[in-house]
Chain A
Amino acid sequence: MAEKLKIATTSLGGCFGCHMSFLDIDERIIDLFDLVEFDRSPLTDIKHCSEYVDIGLIEGGVCNSENVHTLREFRKSCKVLIAVGACAINGGLPALRNFIPLEECLAESYLTGEGIDNPQIPSDIELPLLLDKVHPIHELVKVDYFLPGCPPSGNAFWRFITDLAAGKTPTLPYDLVHYD
């Protein structure tokens, strides 16, 4: 049997809804493990990508400096990088803050908003710095494929991964393409 494909997954500025939807492949996950093994992913808790990964699935847009580092690590390691879900493809709902200056966003959340005790803008060195705007991932790195949806359905994930595992260009039938 051929060597298993290595898959890495991560969520940048996402809600992990795409990861949850991925798990909606249900019992097909047993068949999936015949085809692939998981590398860096919240499902394995492996913290960094191996040197060589076949498929990288990126959920979420790029909101902060850590997202930039993570995305670059994935691009460096992954032969095929897939933007998964609305946020990775167009920034999604987090990009609603793109219309409001960052300073005003932070002030509303941490200084002037309702119910705030001890107002201060968090500045711990451990915290990644927010970017001025939320960006879709194709604005930072080359993306090979796009899997739209909020989230893409389990069937769409299954189709995409099995197509790639079979060495085919992934294609979705009409009823699996949704932007919502």
Chain B
Amino acid sequence: MSENTLTIDGKPVHFKDGDTIMEAAIRAGIYIPHLCHDPELKPQGNCKMCEVKVNGRNCSACTFPAAEGQKVLNNIKELNENRRIIVQMLFVEGNHLCPGCEKSGNCKLQAIAYSVGMMEYRFPLIYPKREMDTSHPDILLDRNRCIFCEMCVRAGREVDGKEVFAISGRGIGNHLIVNSPSGLLKDSLLEVTDKAANVCPVGAIIIKRHGFEVPIGQRIYDKKQIAEVSVATEKVLEEKVHG
């Protein structure tokens, strides 16, 4: 085997110095499920969907450095079962009522749930009371659907150069807060063209007045699995950002 090679599910994958396992996988066109990874943002390991086995140890692929000779297991029954349980916990922890959500069909949480075969919730639903913020003229914030991936937090800080969002509280008290004198989105610096406004994997941050432009049933993940979509779009972005 040549230098800088690891294997993912037995397939040799070349990586560059400084790559994480996720970055190497994306470049090689291998899908590792993820909700909080974006090639443009620093990895943070929040969602745990990308848990893989590296030489027998479980790690987050998005934060774990790639190294010579690693044997990585990704698409195996044990890990996919873990992913299904994580998705189920995310569903019962928030209020994810897909039939009433504009993001349905374009939602990554839903798409991963479809792909890991989630047919039910397994756990008792919590139905937490969460606040909506409809104050911004162009952007809706519905905390019912927030999964605390911090994509909007990091996109604001790292790409838009604005500290708009943050996570406050701990455990079940976790909630997304807005950096403005009133705490409302309308008084923040968030604009509709910001990455932070467009990066939400679920329906927590929605651009207003575009609802149902694409009908239910014809959306991204209605016909294509997230693995196929993700490999097609993120490889280009990864190569653009990290070469």
Specify which chain B residues have a CB less than 8 angstroms from the CB of A56 in the assembled complex.
none
Contact A150 B124 (CB under 8 A): no
Specify which chain A residues have a CB less than 8 angstroms from the CB of B110 in the assembled complex.
179
Whole-angstrom CA separation of A98 from B100 in the bound complex: 15
Number of interface residues of B (CB under 8 A): 26
Whole-angstrom CA separation of A139 from B126 in the bound complex: 12
Contact B225 A174 (CB under 8 A): yes
Whole-angstrom CA separation of A90 from B123 in the bound complex: 10
Contact B99 A179 (CB under 8 A): yes
Whole-angstrom CA separation of A86 from B129 in the bound complex: 20
Specify which chain B residues have a CB less than 8 angstroms from the CB of A95 in the assembled complex.
97, 125, 127
Closest to A86 in B: B99
Indicate whether A92 sits within 8 Å of B99 (C-beta atoms), given known contacts A98-B127, A174-B225: yes
Specify which chain B residues have a CB less than 8 angstroms from the CB of A133 in the assembled complex.
127
Whole-angstrom CA separation of A174 from B121 in the bound complex: 18
Chain B proximity of A152: nearest CB distance (Å): 11
Closest to B225 in A: A174
Which of A136, A146, A150 contacts B119, CB < 8 Å? A146
Contact A93 B100 (CB under 8 A): yes
Contact A86 B119 (CB under 8 A): no
Chain A proximity of B177: nearest CB distance (Å): 20
Contact A83 B223 (CB under 8 A): no
User: A180 an interface residue at 8 Å Cβ cutoff?
Assistant: yes
User: A89 an interface residue at 8 Å Cβ cutoff?
Assistant: yes
Chain B proximity of A42: nearest CB distance (Å): 21
Chain A proximity of B217: nearest CB distance (Å): 8
Chain B proximity of A146: nearest CB distance (Å): 4
Contact A89 B120 (CB under 8 A): yes
Indicate whether A136 sits within 8 Å of B114 (C-beta atoms), given known contacts A83-B120, A93-B97, A143-B120: no
Q: Report A's interface with B, CB cutoff 8 A.
A: 83, 86, 89-93, 95-96, 98-99, 133, 136, 138-139, 143, 145-148, 150, 172, 174-175, 177-180
Q: Report B's interface with A, CB cutoff 8 A.
A: 91, 95-101, 104-105, 110, 113-115, 117, 119-121, 124-125, 127, 129, 216, 222-223, 225
8 A-B pairs closest in CB distance? A150-B99, A179-B98, A146-B120, A180-B104, A146-B119, A98-B127, A180-B98, A180-B99
